[in-house]
Amino acid sequence: MSNLKNLSGAIALLLIGAACENQDAVQTLKPLDDSPVFMELGRSSGSARLAEEGNFAVFSAEYLTTEESGQVGRTVYFNNVGNKQLSADFVPGVSLDNSDNISYYVDNNRPSADLAVSASSAAIVRAMTTWDNVTCSNLGLTQIPYNSARRTGYVSALLGYGGSFGYTADVVHAGWLPKGFFDLLAAQGSTFILGVTFTITFTDQNGNATDLDNNGKADVAWREIYYNDNFTWKIGNHYDVETIALHEAGHGLSQGHFGSAFASGGNNKLHFAPRAVMNAAYSGIQTSIGETDNAGHCSNWAAWNNN
Ligand SMILES: [Ca+2]
Ligand SMILES: [Ca+2]
Ligand SMILES: [Zn+2]
């Protein structure tokens, strides 16, 4: 068994090596640890606050890192999931908007410091449309119109960055937050986390995630996406909003990270095999769906019936 593992590792390294321009880097490629992390989510105490949170809980978060950091994106699980389901999915017939159509919302109340909110929101809509155009699925993707009086952000409210505990849409692009928020996800997280998607699940009377359709997956109430305003954001250059929104929206639509990550020795530059939108680190502009992204999306959604 260990010989087999060594062999497949060696083959993977050879394949990666063939894809890298710098042959000197081949010897120093090493696979990166992207194993899940378990942590307690910090929260303000007080029964009034807990009552406000409703019958939902933050289940997991998946964050995307910069290529230069040498850090690879992780999945963080919160609270009592250690002995339960490690994945979560939307449930047909159970949606807070009473529709199997997938609704989404772009919150213009938290713009980036770098771009007109009209430009960043348009990039996010393009990313959502790219997923909607995948032909195997019929998401019934529906944008909920922006309302300046609406407050979004269950997780941001929980962690003291404003928002509300109420539902807005199945997938919420909740906007840009300052670096302190990202430091709560990982030590020095604000220096390498570009964006993050949180999964919020329904909970039973004991506070555990429900599995109403008995598919072994926790039942998603909605998902929230946040972008790190500690970085400089651009359209069509790094860091490109549409590229990162497309990745985060992939999580919003239930995909996990995909592809093996390797770091080369000298500069910690990351390599992925295969390269995909759902790789756990940013590796340049990528605004169309790759083969593995398409396959992952279709495995989640091809059977979804929104009619
Ligand atoms: Ca829905
Ligand atoms: Ca389920
Ligand atoms: Zn990610």
Which value, in Å, is the radius of gyration of the alpha carbons in the chain? 19
| CA of 170, nearest ligand number | 1
Give residue 216's region: left, alpha or beta (phi > 0; psi -120 to 50): left
* Model pLDDT, residue 10: 46
* Model pLDDT, residue 208: 84
Query: Quick one: average pLDDT of 139-154?
Result: 97
Q: In the chain, what percentage of residues exceed pLDDT 90?
A: 68
- Spatial neighbors of 177 by CB under 8 A, at least 6 apart, are 110, 156, 161, 226, 227, 228, 229
50: pLDDT confidence band, cut at 50, 70 and 90?
low
**pLDDT over 50 (residue 3):** no
Structure tokens at 246: 């497309």
CB neighbours of residue 141 within 10 Å = 20
Query: Quick one: average pLDDT of 59-88?
Result: 84
* Model pLDDT, residue 4: 45
**pLDDT over 50 (residue 18):** no
**pLDDT over 60 (residue 212):** yes
Structure tokens at 198: 């949180």
18: three-class secondary structure by DSSP: helix
Query: Quick one: average pLDDT of 47-59?
Result: 73
Mean pLDDT score of the chain: 87
Q: How far apart are CA 50 and CA 285, in angstroms?
A: 41
Query: Quick one: average pLDDT of 146-164?
Result: 95
Q: Which CATH architecture has domain 32-301?
A: 3-Layer(aba) Sandwich (3.40)
Q: How far apart are CA 270 and CA 206, in angstroms?
A: 42
196: pLDDT confidence band, cut at 50, 70 and 90?
very high
Burial class of residue 274 (count of CB atoms within 10 Å of its CB; 0-12, 13-18, 19+): middle
Output the CA 205–ligand 2 centroid distance in Å: 17
| CA of 87, nearest ligand number | 2
For ligand 1, an ion, list residues with CB under 5 A: 95, 97, 99, 170
How does DSSP assign 124-140, residue by residue? HHHHHHHHHT-TT----
What's this model's pTM, rounded to 2 decimal places?
0.88
